Chains A and B, each alone.
Chain A
Amino acid sequence: MDQPVNRTEQLQEQLKIVKAESPWKIAIRRFARNRLAVIGLVILVIMSLICVFGPLFSPYTINETDVSNKNQAPNADYWLGTDKLGRDILLRVMLAGRISLTVGLVATAISVAIGATLGAVAGFYRKYADTIIMRIADIFLALPTLPILITLGAILSDLKVEPGKRIYFLMLIIGLLGWVSLARLVRSQILTLREQEFMQATEALGLRDNRKIFRHLMPNTIPIIIVSATLGVAGAIITESTLSFLGLGVVPPTPSWGNMITAANNLIDFRKRPWLWIPPGLCILITVTAINLIGDGLRDALDPKMKNR
């Protein structure tokens, strides 16, 4: 007779042991198992640390020109050599990294803010709001992005915006052109989410719309936002470097990885002094690869459809 009781006790014991893991913990564990993604994360952290703290340990300063030491090949004093003004390339690469990473991050933050909000509004209100927002999205999707950015960059040059302020405009224009894909993703998620029972509950509680959207619907879309934002940063860094290479993005004296590569436009520098333009190029390649690896790892970790792989 006492067997069923025992069984229940046993089950209760087991239930105590099995603690429900939060979805975030599961995601972190899954991410940690993905070796490439972890390598990407380590590389990105090291790159960022070098760019942020490296200049503090440099014996040189950014505008220090030293004509007696111009165009030096990499050596013990100047690890990556010097440019035609005798400036230390290593220091410039690190400072450029700060700019390029910041532009990438802020531009993506702008895209995400616009994309997530518009997507949520379109998915939540449907009807007119949806039609209008998605039509605008269609327009932006067919808009040739690079030419538009180049034209806007040319406008910034013509208006003679000073280099320091220019990077803010640059972040803004890159951000304004990159929101569409996230808006579509968020919208389609919200369209299914809003039909679920927890939304009926918010209805019954009489919550206001913006609370429903920002406190109850949006948190459920955070996984796709994170993945899309990570890959977005990689794209934004490439876009910034391309524009800066054309002389239409970040302009000297502010260094960026892209505008350092413009040194290659000078035939002698291009042929004889590869240390001027190869290090910044490799930095772009390494950073962007690392971010893409992380983004891919996050997608695998956060996408519930991939659970058992």
Chain B
Amino acid sequence: MSQYIIRRLLQMIPTLIGISIIVFAISQMVPGDYITASQNPNMTAERADQLRAIYGLDKPPVQQYFIWVKNMLTGNLGDSFQHKMPVTEVINTYVWNSFIIAFVTMILSWTIAAFVGVFSAQFQYSFFDKVVTLLVFLLMSLPSFFIGLLAIKYIALDLKLFPTGGMTTAGLNAGGFAYIKDVVEHMFLPVVVMTTLTVGGLTRYFRTGMLEVIRQDYIRTARAKGLQERTVIFKHAFRNALLPAITLLGFELPGLFGGAMILERVFAWPGIGQIYLASINMRDYPLMLGFTMFLAVLTLLGNLISDILYGVADPRIRLK
């Protein structure tokens, strides 16, 4: 097992090198840099050149690439131009805001998807199942920004049930419980929208998994023994239906820490996704490049974790 993990980790290296080259090349294709993008009217040509020299933007691209990679290997992603602090610190500041909503979303959507999927499979072809199937397709086809806007317009603005965006009420100077309550209120809509967006695909996954298990002989045996249907479904069938879903757990990793670029922007949530989107617009290369690599590493680690989890959960699978 440890051999397998080490080999997989080593295999990540060429992939990461490839990604770093592509991402760096793309960033070099962008005309203009942070100095021009910040559009400071008092900027003289001399001062701009000075700043470029300070940020290392005057060096040839190949040299810049190697400096960047060398620094990355020592855990230094450089300093963000915009935030005037190390990229790692920027990520660490905002990633947790993203993590909170992503984590709550994950718990919610997995719970809902498991229950709905299981019941939908148990009563296959029933009215409930048909409604679920159609809903799943609708949810899987939702453009995230559109559903976000709809929620803000009708639930937050028209009904005034929840705040329209942000993480805290401006000017709120409360601590403790009042602060938590305020954040939870702000979280509500983004979490509901994100859950809506993710729950469809998951439900489908659980339903298919359950359908496969329910047809097997040991389920018939369990029923023939005279076990209660509830026991058959949740004790015998559900556990096995969970197996394929466990692989999905690993794939959640980039979602948990990667932020939701579009929705965070729509809801003005101060998460890393929104900061990242801004870094692209502002040509804040160190932040943009650093976080892209961070995302790539998360994706690769997520794949590895899901493979390992699958092997752990199902002893029939041997990892070699």
Contact = CB atoms under 8 A, between A and B. Distances in A.
Interface string A100-142: 0000000000000000000000000000000000011011011
Contact of B280 (A141, A150, A242): A150
A195 B245 CA distance: 33
A242 B146 CA distance: 9
B31 A264 contact: no
Nearest to A291: B141
B292 interface: yes
B31 A158 contact: yes
Interface stretch (B22-30, B68-76, B82-90): B22-30
A52 interface: no
B30 A270 contact: no
Given A154-B280, A234-B141, A139 B22 contact: yes
Contacts of A271: 153, 157
Best-surrounded residue of A135, A245, A274 (most CB of chain B within 10 A): A245
B240 interface: no
A213 interface: no
B146 A144 contact: no
Interface in B250-281: 254, 258, 261-262, 276-277, 280-281
Main secondary structure of the interface of A (DSSP, over half): helix
Contacts of A289: 137-138, 141
A284 interface: yes
Contacts of A246: 262, 277
A292 B146 contact: no
A296 interface: yes
A36 B145 contact: no
A11 interface: no
Interface size bucket, A side?
Answer: 35 or more
B145 A245 contact: yes
A136 B281 CA distance: 28
B102 interface: no
Nearest to A138: B15
B300 interface: yes
A159 B29 CA distance: 10
A147 B276 contact: yes
Interface string A214-249: 000000000000000000001000100110011000
Given A242-B145, A245-B145, A142 B27 contact: no
Contact of A151 (B142, B157, B288): B288
A74 interface: no
A147 B295 contact: yes
A151 B280 contact: yes
A177 B14 CA distance: 19
Contacts of B31: 155, 158-159
A189 B187 CA distance: 45
Given A143-B296, A147-B280, A284 B143 contact: yes
Contacts of A159: 31
Contacts of A142: 15-16, 19, 296, 299-300, 303
A20 B318 CA distance: 43
A21 to B, nearest CB: 26
Interface in A157-191: 158-159
Contacts of B144: 242
5 closest Cβ contacts across the A-B interface? A139-B18, A288-B141, A281-B146, A289-B141, A144-B295
Interface of B: 14-16, 18-19, 22-23, 26-27, 29-32, 133-134, 137-138, 140-146, 149-150, 153, 157, 254, 258, 261-262, 276-277, 280-281, 288, 292, 295-296, 299-300, 303
29 contacts: A36-B133, A138-B18, A142-B19, A142-B299, A143-B296, A144-B292, A144-B296, A147-B280, A147-B292, A148-B22, A148-B23, A148-B292, A151-B280, A158-B31, A159-B31, A234-B141, A242-B143, A242-B145, A246-B262, A261-B149, A264-B153, A271-B153, A278-B150, A285-B141, A285-B142, A288-B141, A289-B138, A292-B140, A296-B137
Interface of A: 36, 135-136, 138-139, 141-144, 146-148, 150-152, 154-155, 158-159, 234, 238, 241-242, 245-246, 258, 261, 264, 270-271, 274, 277-278, 281, 284-285, 288-289, 291-293, 296
Given A151-B30, A292-B137, 16 more contacts: A36-B133, A135-B18, A136-B18, A139-B18, A142-B296, A146-B262, A148-B292, A151-B288, A155-B29, A241-B146, A274-B153, A285-B138, A285-B141, A288-B143, A292-B140, A293-B137
